[in-house]
Amino acid sequence: ARSMTFDRLRRYQFSMTGYPIRGELEPYIGLGFGVLQVVNPQFGSNEVFSSAEEAALSADEAHQRSATGFMSLMAGVQFRVGRMAAFGQYQITSSPSAGNLLKGPGHSLMGGLRFSLGSSKEGVRGGGY
């Protein structure tokens, strides 16, 4: 085991949400999946290797353990006023596989504003034959 540092995390995620109650105040739930990657993993400044080959093998192994897939579950609420909605949500992601650079589940608390850029029209139309 060696200490590692990294610049940032990169996360690509896909989620589907469901809104069981429509109105001004809308709770929602969602499920998703994604990929989480450690960007630029490097050994700590006090790490010493016996050879350049050992250092190269360790760096290669760190890069192989820098990405993982995850599943996610989210729950939130949004308050809609016209085309704008303020929201807050909590999300938990599954733990990375054993041996990965990251450990344990991920927790996120997010909030913000959403703006509708358009509208949709749904309906069944008859005829046309």
Q: What is the pLDDT along the chain (129 residues), one digit of tens a residue?
A: 666 677 788 889 999 999 999 888 999 999 999 998 888 777 666 666 667 776 677 667 766 677 888 999 999 999 988 889 999 999 999 988 777 777 889 899 999 999 988 876 666 676 666
C-alpha 10/C-alpha 12 separation (Å) is: 7
Cβ–Cβ under 8 Å, residues 99 and 64 = no
pTM of the model: 0.69
pLDDT, position 113: 96
Cα–Cα distances in Å, from 76 out to 60, 94, 97, 108? 40, 18, 27, 11
pLDDT on residue 107 = 93
Beta bridge partners of 25: 79
Instruction: Copy the structure tokens of residue 108.
Output: 């996120």
